[in-house]
């Protein structure tokens, strides 16, 4: 991928309906503001106390992934479009890492709760991940290679059914209590087999795990029902924070409102509507890490204010990603002071239907709404103003499990003949008894990019088949709460994952009785069978076929949900920020262990 910048698009030619509407309503999404919005004051949460920890050096494991190519400061980049690639970009180092300084970054939303086992949003990962350790994690320099974290080494049995991890000695939580295999077991028991009333959003991904044992304080053993090629990557999930067994024993919901881990930064304060502060853990178990003295995450919703904060030096970065216009604004303003990293993104918005509500319990209605979308025209228009671009199904386009375009265009809604697809959509609505002018509400997230312009796109496309749709933006807690409770008819949802792996990416779409992330509230034994079959299949070709069969059922036969357009990640950051490598996931590389400031 060329880590380059490109100029603002010139809109010289005439655009028809969709393009003009999206551009007119979204022109402000990437424009600068004079200053970031002033955050409101709110009560502070209590900070945890400093703790001691060991200083055990991590050992390298597994074969190295392909090295990342250097990203360039914007002034050195050519003015050309960025070409997709699976290789991540890495900022070009400026000298040796140095200690000190406070990293300031922007977060575009606030978390619904503080529980990583429950939530699915960057709004939790970005400010909170630095407080926690994982059992193992992705190598920040060689993603998707797996590297040690709390575990310093591990062994996998010859039959691939037993994973044994040896933990570092002397690690302590930030309250001073020791972290042992008991805490790892308690955390994974909660993830794999959550107690009644506890939401573990990704539990189905760990269906292969039969038992978790802690034979001694430094050993944790996972025994599987069947071999799982993805297991090591699943155990490196950025969401699998290791919690204190004592805290969980006292209250399984304690971590929904409190922070206490073993990570490189201690929690200082969270002021809702304003900021989150972390302070260096001087006794972190990796010698010399972290480099930073601390960090401050400022919550700023509007893109223009986020851009102004980076441009004005009040923040070094917004880790999720900026739009093409925002990138270009920063490049013009800052030149060599800004570095741009770009990457494919394992993320797409999808349309979720509450299949318990009429008329969305009818597959014909759901299929009509997919057929109505001209994704190809939408990609051309939206990619000019926000960070969506690739067309794909339920796995990342260009990834190891994607289907070729020649096959994809046979699916409902993916044809390049948008007019014919809309005519078929109208026919299906008539057949299902949906009257012309039928009204419903699309519940949407109030994160401006890319939710706002995508909502405009959907409303416009559905209007063209005779539907009257109201786009209702919601703040994060209400948005997540309504999806989980079923308080919606149609909602804009998302696929967002940390690795190209069907066990991860497809878990959302199996029966709601198995997957808490299935907000469509449907149960389908055939989908469950296909998911389990692909998970156990070791032949890559056969596994691909099973993945595509599952996709066919979800988005073409039953149309329980469907993707809209996939995202393309663009991360401009101040050039003094070093040690950060963009990956295809905005959930990975967020513990700030390896990040440093050049000045």
Q: What is the pLDDT of residues 8-28, one digit of tens each?
A: 233 233 334 555 555 544 444
Give the integer Cα–Cα distance in Å for 313 and 575.
Answer: 11
Domain chopping of the chain, boundaries = 17-28+345-568
Higher pLDDT, 45 or 377: 377
HSE at residue 302, side-chain half, CA atoms within 13 A, is 16
**Structure tokens of 469?**
């749709």
50-59, 202-211, 406-415: least confident range: 50-59
Q: How far apart are CA 52 and CA 221, in angstroms?
A: 26
Q: How confident is the model at residue 93, as a pLDDT?
A: 56
State the Cα angle at 216 between 212 and 221, rounded to 5°: 25
Instruction: Tell whether the model's pLDDT for residue 259 goes beyond 80.
Output: yes
Peptide linkage before 182 cis (omega within 30 of 0): no
Over 80: is that where the pLDDT of 77 sits? no
Q: Tell me: the pLDDT tens digits for 236-251?
A: 999 999 999 999 999 9
In the prediction, which pLDDT does 347 show?
97
pLDDT reported for residue 533? 96
Give me the pLDDT at residue 168, please.
Answer: 98
Peptide bond into 136 cis (omega under 30): no
List pLDDT tens digits, range 461-514: 999 999 999 999 999 999 999 999 999 999 999 999 999 999 999 999 999 999
Residue by residue, DSSP assigns 98-164 as ----EEEEEESS--S-S-TTT---HHHHHHHGGG---SEEE-TTSTTSEEESSEEEEEE-TTS-EEE
pLDDT of 24-48, one tens digit each? 444 444 333 333 333 333 333 333 3
Distance CA 68, CA 143 (A): 9
Mean pLDDT of the chain: 88
Q: 17-28+345-568 in CATH: which number?
A: 3.10.105.10
Residue 150's pLDDT is 98
Arithmetic mean of pLDDT, 551-580: 98
Separation of alpha carbons 78 and 399, rounded Å: 26
**Four-point Cα dihedral 216, 218, 219, 220, nearest 10:** 110
**Quick check: 146 pLDDT over 70?**
yes
Distances (CA, A) of 19 to 353, 386, 568: 26, 13, 19
How far apart, in Å, are the Cα atoms of 363 and each of 197, 412, 448, 523, 565? 31, 12, 30, 14, 21
Give residues with Cβ within 8 angstroms of 435, minimum separation 6.
none
> Predicted confidence band at 195 (pLDDT cuts at 50, 70, 90)?
very high
**Who wins on pLDDT, 99 or 42?**
99
* CB contact set of 171 (below 8 Å; sequence gap of 6+): 53, 54, 133, 150, 178, 179, 262, 285
Per-residue pLDDT tens digits for 392-417:
999 999 999 999 999 999 999 999 99
**Across-strand partners of 348?**
495, 566
Nearest to 289 by CA among 187, 188, 148: 148
Q: Report the pLDDT value the prediction gives residue 95, as an integer from 0 to 100.
A: 79
pLDDT digit string, tens, across residues 296-318: 999 999 999 999 999 999 999 99
The answer to whether residue 92 scores a pLDDT higher than 60 is: no
- Greater confidence (157 vs 76) lies with 157
Task: State the pLDDT at residue 3.
Answer: 43
The pLDDT value given to residue 183: 98
- pLDDT (average), residues 432-447: 97
Whether pLDDT at 72 is above 80: no
Q: Is the pLDDT of residue 75 over 80?
A: no
Query: When comparing pLDDT for 442 and 84, which is higher?
Result: 442
Q: Is the pLDDT of residue 83 over 80?
A: no
Q: What pTM does this model have?
A: 0.85
Distance CA 148, CA 289 (A): 14
């Amino acid at each position: 991928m060329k880590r380059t910048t490109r100029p603002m698009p010139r809109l010289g030619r005439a655009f028809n309906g969709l393009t003009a509407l999206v551009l007119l309503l979204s022109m402000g999404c990437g424009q600068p503001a004079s200053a970031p919005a002033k955050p409101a004051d709110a009560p502070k949460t209590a900070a945890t106390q400093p703790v001691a920890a060991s200083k055990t050096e991590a050992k390298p494991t597994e074969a190295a992934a392909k090295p990342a190519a250097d990203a360039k400061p914007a002034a050195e980049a050519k003015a050309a479009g960025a070409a997709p690639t699976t290789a991540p970009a890495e900022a070009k180092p400026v000298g040796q890492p140095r200690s000190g300084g406070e990293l300031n970054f922007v977060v575009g939303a606030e978390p619904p709760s503080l529980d990583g086992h429950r939530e699915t949003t960057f709004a939790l990962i970005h400010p909170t991940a630095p407080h926690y350790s994982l059992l193992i994690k992705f190598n920040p320099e060689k993603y998707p290679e797996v590297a040690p974290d709390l575990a310093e080494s591990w062994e996998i049995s010859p039959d691939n059914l037993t994973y044994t991890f040896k933990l570092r000695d002397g690690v302590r939580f930030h309250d001073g209590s020791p972290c042992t295999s008991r805490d790892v077991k308690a955390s994974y028991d909660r993830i794999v087999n959550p107690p009644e009333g506890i939401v573990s959003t990704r539990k189905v991904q760990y269906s292969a795990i039969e038992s978790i044992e802690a034979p001694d304080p430094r050993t944790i053993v996972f025994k599987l029902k069947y071999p799982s090629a993805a297991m090591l990557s699943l155990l490196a999930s950025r969401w699998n924070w290791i919690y204190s067994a004592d805290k969980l024993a006292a209250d399984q919901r304690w971590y929904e409102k409190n922070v206490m881990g073993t990570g490189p930064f201690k929690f200082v304060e969270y002021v809702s509507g304003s900021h989150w502060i972390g302070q260096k853990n001087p006794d972190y178990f990796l010698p010399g890490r972290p480099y930073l003295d601390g960090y401050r995450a400022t919550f700023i919703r509007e893109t223009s204010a986020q851009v102004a904060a980076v441009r004005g030096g009040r923040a070094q970065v917004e880790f999720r990603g900026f739009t093409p216009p925002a990138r270009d604004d920063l490049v013009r303003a800052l030149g060599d002071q800004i570095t741009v990293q770009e990457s494919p993104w394992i993320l797409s918005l999808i349309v979720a239907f509450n299949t318990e509500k009429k008329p969305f319990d009818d597959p014909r209605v759901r299929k009509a709404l997919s057929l109505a979308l001209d994704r190809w025209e939408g990609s051309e228009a939206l990619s000019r103003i926000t960070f969506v671009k690739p067309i794909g199904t339920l796995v990342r386009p260009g990834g190891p499990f994607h289907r070729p375009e020649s096959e994809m265009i046979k699916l409902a809604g993916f044809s390049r003949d948008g007019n014919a697809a809309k005519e078929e959509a109208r026919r299906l609505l008539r057949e299902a008894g949906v009257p012309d002018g039928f009204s419903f509400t699309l519940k949407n997230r109030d994160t401006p990019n890319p939710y706002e312009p995508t909502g405009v796109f959907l409303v416009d496309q559905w209007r063209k088949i005779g539907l009257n749709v109201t786009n209702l933006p919601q703040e994060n807690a209400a948005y997540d709460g309504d999806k989980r409770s079923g308080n919606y008819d149609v909602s804009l949802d998302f696929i967002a994952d940390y690795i190209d792996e069907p066990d991860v990416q497809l878990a959302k779409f199996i029966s709601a009785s198995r997957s808490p992330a299935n907000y469509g509230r449907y149960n389908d034994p055939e989908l469950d069978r296909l998911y389990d079959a692909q998970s156990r299949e070791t032949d890559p070709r056969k596994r691909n076929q099973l993945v595509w069969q599952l996709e066919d059922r979800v988005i073409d036969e039953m149309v329980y949900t469907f993707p809209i357009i996939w995202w393309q990640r663009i991360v401009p950051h101040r050039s003094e920020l070093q040690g950060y490598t963009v990956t295809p996931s905005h959930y990975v590389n967020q513990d700030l262990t390896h990040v440093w400031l050049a000045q």
